[in-house]
Amino acid sequence: MFIKGYSIASVAEMGCCGCFGFSFRKKQKKSRPRTYIENHISQQLLLNEEEVEEEEEHEEEEDDDNCSYDDDISDTEKEHHDEFRNPAKRSEDILLYRTQNGLICREFPVKETHKVVRSEDENGNKMVNEYVRECKIGSGSYGKVVLYKSQVDGKHYAIKAFHKSHLLKLRVAPSETAMTDVLREVLIMKMLNHPNIVNLIEVIDDPNTDHFYMVLEYIEGKWVFEGSGPPGGLGQHVARSYLRDIVSGLMYLHSHNIVHGDIKPDNLLVTATGTVKIGDFSVSQVFEDENDELRRSPGTPVFTAPECCLGLTYHGKAADTWAVGVTLYCMINGQYPFLGDTLQDTYDKIVNDTIWLPADLNPQLKNLLDGLLCKDPAQRLSLGDVAVHPWVVENVGPIPEFRCWCKRDREEENNGITHHHLI
């Protein structure tokens, strides 16, 4: 049973959660293919039609193919994008410093290729270097995502393809273009190595061409409705498994002072084995230290924390944690906790309304949702609290902390061991 105003029909207006196997969609006059990990939101009122039309002008005829991931999407709000900056130091500066000083979590760096060869294989399929094109997966505000197969290792990859001239023309802030967003996303993903985060394999950027490619691992999982739990929900067992993966990946990001900024089901991909991986770092930000204060979130409205709706400064990690709570609520109940008829109405409900939970909900799960969706960020559960929460721990144990490469490296250095001395 759904509370008044939160029926499947009303949730369909926002059309979300398809990546977790339940999707509430209605036919729209103008639809766009699902993005693989591109930034988006299913609120047509936030869609910048001029940007959509400009992006579509860059779509090639080959992009008319159909493949999996078919769904209608639109893009995440970019309004006030410049206000989502670290007031102390830009993320790009911090990332460059970390890269130059070897402060990355990869034992082996992302491959960088500076030559693009566009050709065809013996069957007439288009190729980019070693990769043979199979079909388009989706598109977003900045580019498209295409499924390719490598002739070298025989594996499939999801390649995000951009036109640099297009990115440079899209202004997202007074002094920044969409190219800034893409390059920041690349810099962030070059640092990361975690089983619950989509892996960046290669960056292809030929200075003599207009093409720019991000080669990502392909998430081949089937997003099939589980059929358990309440209508539209996944059931507690699946939701618990997914939540553990999400929290593990996000704890890793936060431990490196990275705020994702747009946690939601559409950016959480499920592999064929049921593992969840966090993707889309196009609005993420990086901090020098634990001071993660921001001014405005560019994320998806229905996943926005109350403090972000007030136009005040807020802490990015706490806002990410709220978004985890909204995601868990969607997985359990198949609906949003706060949804209005307009954007402002949605924000008003997020700030003022009491969360509705089914009367027969597991008491421990109710406690967890109440803690994650606490209006006061100072009283909200932390991810560390979630990792040891009774509902999360049940029959599995606490979520283990991931011992990343850069931390192991620093521990060895602190203990007087260097890799040069290792045999």
Q: How far is CA 46 from CA 25, 41, 96, 143, 151, in A?
A: 17, 8, 32, 18, 41
Residue 356 corresponds to which tokens in the numbers above? 């509705």
Measured CA to CA, the distance from residue 184 to residue 92 in angstroms comes to: 6
Tokens in use for 15? 């059309």
Asked if 407 and 191 touch (Cβ cutoff 8 Å), the reply is no
Task: Give the DSSP letter string of 266-318.
Answer: GGEEE-TTS-EEE---TT-EE-SSS--EES---S-GGG--GGGGGTS-EEHHH
Name the catalytic one among 262, 266, 320, 409.
262
Q: Whole-angstrom Cα distance, residue 170 to residue 178?
A: 5
Place of tokens 């990332």: 95
Q: Are 319 and 305 in contact (CB under 8 A)?
A: yes
Neighbouring residues of 412: CB distance < 8 A, sequence distance ≥ 6: 418, 419
Known catalytic residue: 262?
A: yes
Report the C-alpha gap between 159 and 63 in whole angstroms. Answer: 13
Q: Which of 82, 210, 201 is nearest to 143 (CA)?
A: 210
Helix intervals (H) in 33-177: 49-57, 91-100, 164-169
List, in order, residues 6 or more apart from 38 with CB less than 8 Å away: 75, 138, 139, 140, 141, 142, 143, 145, 160, 280, 282
Q: Which residue has the tokens 């593992």?
A: 275
Write the single-letter amino acid at 6: Y
Give the active site residues: 262
